[in-house]
Amino acid sequence: MLAGVVVLTGAAASFGAALAVSVTYVAGMVAPLAVLALVWERRDWGSSRLLHGRRVRFGFGRLAREMPLGTLASGVVLISMGIVTAVTAVTGPSMASSGWRESLTAWLQHASSVTARALSWLPGWAVILILAALAAALAWQARRSRRRARDPALRTRAASGPSPPAAGIPGSTVASARAGQEAVTHEQ
């Protein structure tokens, strides 16, 4: 895929077009990863039990070995890809010229063509501006999440909601106000 982007960039008529192709490729590759990283951090999936390394025993008798589950899974995938490659090399490509895959491909090409025609009025600088605004919003969100993760006071304030102002009410403190809120909650 990267080779195709390099060819398109080299064949572009101007530096601006080449830059647009390159930026689009980078945005298309990085944006989903940035969204995944934000969701990962917010949901705290890193501490999930499913992601901790497990060791499994694979094989029989003297050939049995204990290894991490991820190593076993990647080995199985790699061996499967090798088998599929060898079978395809021996039998030749056997993709049918009709069926759901071809219908889906044709529909996706049609949808992208219609979308490109509908957005053709939009100047290139506006697309770059929209992409820059999206990148800035993602960066702002990531920075805010990181700041909340680092500062426990921000985390507790965000979790408990805004606290009532203590100024102007004689003899009240934030602790007494929170105790009052809890009492009202328990009465309901």
Render pLDDT for 107-125 as a digit per residue (tens, 0 to 9). 889 998 888 888 888 888 8
Contact indicator for 79, 96 with CB cutoff of 8 Å: no
The answer to whether the Cα torsion of 106, 107, 108, 113 is positive or negative is positive
As given in the structure block, the two tokens for residue 70 are: 């991820």
**Per-chain mean pLDDT for the chain:** 78
Confidence (pTM): 0.34
Q: Say how far apart CA 79 and CA 72 lie, in whole Å.
A: 11
CA 55 to chain centre: 28
Query: Where are the extended beta strands (E) located within 40-109?
Result: 55-58, 65-68
When mean pLDDT is compared over 134-138, 144-148, 150-154, 159-163, the highest value belongs to: 134-138
Tokens 């965000």 found at: 158
Least confident segment among 49-58, 65-74, 106-115, 178-187: 178-187
Contact indicator for 64, 57 with CB cutoff of 8 Å: yes
Exposure class string for 136-151: b at 16+ Cβ within 10 A, else e: eebeeeeeeeeebeee
Which pLDDT belongs to residue 175? 54
Render pLDDT for 83-98 as a digit per residue (tens, 0 to 9). 988 988 888 766 666 7
Question: What residue type is assigned to position 92 of the chain?
Answer: G
Residue 14 backbone dihedrals phi, psi, to 5 degrees: -140, 170
Residue 155 above 70 pLDDT?
A: no
